[in-house]
């Protein structure tokens, strides 16, 4: 099933699917920030053990985050709109003897009946034609005391210069054509939609690169990349 996500984006991710587990390949940055991504998840559930928690990794790609969460004891389901990504993820998880459920679905239109304790959407909303529609629907699949965790890119002049022009065209940190400026999302847009659907913001953090120490870290600077988490309002 081919997603309604723009064909250019689908074709790009499809062509890169064999790169997922190459730590020095096209997804090198994702390997570098994987510990930060996992730490953010753990922090949002107050450092509780992931054992026996049902986790949905929506837009799982080749399974980088899914595998880390599975190793920590989570019952992980990974869903992606690129079939080759799912094939790579399945193969790698079997090779590592991990029990992860992987599904190829049209992220914008799929339906699932199961409820999850944690729903993760890392770097997927900015690739959708209608991210609001997805969020409104996916919150139905969250347990009453569950947590939704999102990472995406802010929309402003600074992010346009750094996340697209510099990162894609100059530094080549990520493949050209990965992001489209008009599809980037301001934090307040997500916060407003979630508030209207009875969810409250739990945490908002930025992801920044320290050129002196040559490493990525969480910060209060959210003008470019940012993480946010939400829980149902009481």
Distances in Å between the Cα of 153 and the Cα atoms of 59, 68, 70, 76, 191 are: 15, 23, 26, 25, 14
**Quick check: 160 and 134 in contact, CB under 8 A?**
no
Residue-level pLDDT at 3: 44
- The set of residues, in sequence order, having a beta carbon less than 8 Å from that of 89 and lying 6+ positions away, is 20, 60, 61, 62, 63, 66, 78, 80, 100, 102
Predicted confidence pLDDT, tens digits, the chain (234 residues): 444 445 666 677 777 888 999 999 988 999 999 999 999 999 999 877 899 999 999 999 999 999 999 999 999 999 999 999 999 999 999 999 999 999 999 998 888 999 999 999 999 999 999 999 999 999 999 999 999 999 999 999 999 888 887 777 776 777 777 778 999 999 999 999 999 999 999 999 999 998 888 899 999 999 999 999 999 987
Domain boundaries, the chain: 7-232
Beta strands per DSSP E along 8-115: 54-58, 75-80, 101-104
Residue 122 — φ and ψ, nearest 5°?
-95, 120
For the chain, how far is it from start to end, CA to CA, in angstroms? 38
**Within 10 Å of residue 140's Cβ, how many Cβ atoms?**
11
- How far apart CA 159 and CA 172 sit, in angstroms, is 15
Cα–Cα distance for residue pair 63/124, rounded to 1 Å: 14
So what CATH class is 7-232? Answer: alpha beta
pTM: 0.91
pLDDT at 2: 42
225-232 and 142-153 strand pairing: antiparallel
């Amino acid at each position: 099933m081919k997603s309604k996500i723009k064909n250019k984006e689908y074709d790009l991710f499809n062509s890169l699917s064999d790169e997922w587990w190459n730590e020095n390949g096209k997804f090198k940055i994702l390997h570098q920030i994987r510990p930060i991504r996992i730490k953010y998840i753990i922090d949002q559930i107050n450092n509780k053990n992931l054992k026996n928690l049902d986790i949905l990794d929506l837009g799982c790609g080749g399974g980088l985050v899914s595998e880390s969460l599975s190793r920590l004891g989570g019952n992980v389901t990974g869903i992606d709109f690129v079939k080759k990504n799912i094939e790579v993820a399945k193969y790698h998880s079997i090779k590592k003897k991990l029990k992860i459920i992987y599904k190829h679905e049209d992220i914008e239109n799929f339906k699932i009946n199961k409820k999850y304790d944690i729903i993760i959407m890392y770097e997927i909303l900015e690739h959708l034609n209608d991210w609001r529609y997805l969020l409104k629907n996916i919150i139905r699949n969250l347990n009453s005391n569950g947590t939704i965790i999102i990472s995406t890119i802010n929309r402003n002049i600074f992010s346009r210069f750094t996340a697209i022009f510099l990162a894609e065209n100059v530094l080549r940190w990520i493949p050209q054509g990965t992001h489209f400026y008009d599809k980037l999302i301001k934090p307040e847009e997500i916060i407003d939609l979630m508030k209207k659907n009875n969810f409250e913001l739990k945490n908002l953090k930025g992801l920044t690169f320290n050129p002196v120490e040559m490493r990525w870290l969480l910060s209060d600077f959210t003008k470019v990349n940012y993480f946010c988490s939400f829980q149902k309002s009481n």
